[in-house]
Amino acid sequence: MKILVTVKRVIDYNVQIRVKADGTGVEKENVKMSMNPPDENAVEEALRIKESGKADEIVILSIGNEKTQETIRTALAMGADRGIHVKTESDLEPLAISKIISKIAEDEKPSIILMGKQAIDDDSNQTGQMTSALLNWPQATFASKIEIEDKNATVTREIDEGLERIKVSIPFVASCDLRLNEPRYASLPNIMKAKKKSIDVKEASSLGIDINPRIDQLKVEEPPVRQKGIMVNDVHELVQKLKNEAKVI
């Protein structure tokens, strides 16, 4: 069994986001970048499945510019076997990402595709679902537990009402929740070994798929500064302000 894990290079979750002066996006130059946190859970889950003897190979896929290989190396240092880097300088939309993942899956023929439930930069939460639709594979989103059984898998997923257990046939796509596991830290020996592991580089333009954007981003702005609150003396004054000034009642 082969597992394909997708990872994304994003601004580190500890960094304070700053909008560019020209409003064309957020500042990424000289900013700490790291692997998208839910993607770390996807890598960890793949490693645990392999360690249980139910998988033979873990392939890491990431899409982005040259520095994206740093994120792939991080996953390789955690214990993955090899990487695939689809190179592009553009910020791709979820549909384009899903098309690329589907194309790579057709070539690699994995039994499972694991990815984070969503990226912390755009919060789209669309790639897993779109990839499943393009491949016509079962999907198990927001997975908090994955149990592999022969040709099927039982996945516990988090929903508004609580927990839901579903059974999907292999191959399938799963998006991983933060509560799925606790990602491991890469040891120094594994970091050194990761430098020798292979990363296959492909140009996005060479895959023969349409990745042109369908949405034009007009402007990015900082959220408005929150105004100072007003203290009132009693409930009567509060009601009057809500009715006459705020006009919400």
Query: For 161-211, how does the pLDDT look when each residue is reduced to its tens digit (9 = 90+)?
Result: 889 999 999 999 999 999 999 999 888 988 999 989 999 999 998 999 999
Q: Is the pLDDT of residue 138 over 90?
A: yes
Whole-number average pLDDT of the chain: 92
pLDDT tens across 179-189, in order?
Answer: 999 999 888 98
Express each pLDDT in 16-37 by its tens digit: 888 888 888 888 888 899 999 9
Per-residue confidence band for 229, with pLDDT thresholds at 50, 70 and 90: confident
The two structure tokens encoding residue 8? 């994304």
Indicate the pLDDT class of residue 96, thresholds 50, 70 and 90.
very high
Question: What percent of the chain stands above pLDDT 90?
Answer: 68
Q: Note whether 85 and 109 are within 8 A (CB).
A: no
In this prediction the pTM is 0.84
Which tens digit of pLDDT belongs to each residue from 139-164?
999 999 999 988 999 999 988 888 99
Q: 171 preceded by cis ω (within 30°)?
A: yes
Sign of CA dihedral 128, 97, 60, 57: positive
Please give the C-alpha separations between residue 78 and each of 11, 188, 217, in angstroms, as whole numbers.
20, 10, 36
Q: Which CATH architecture has domain 2-221?
A: 3-Layer(aba) Sandwich (3.40)
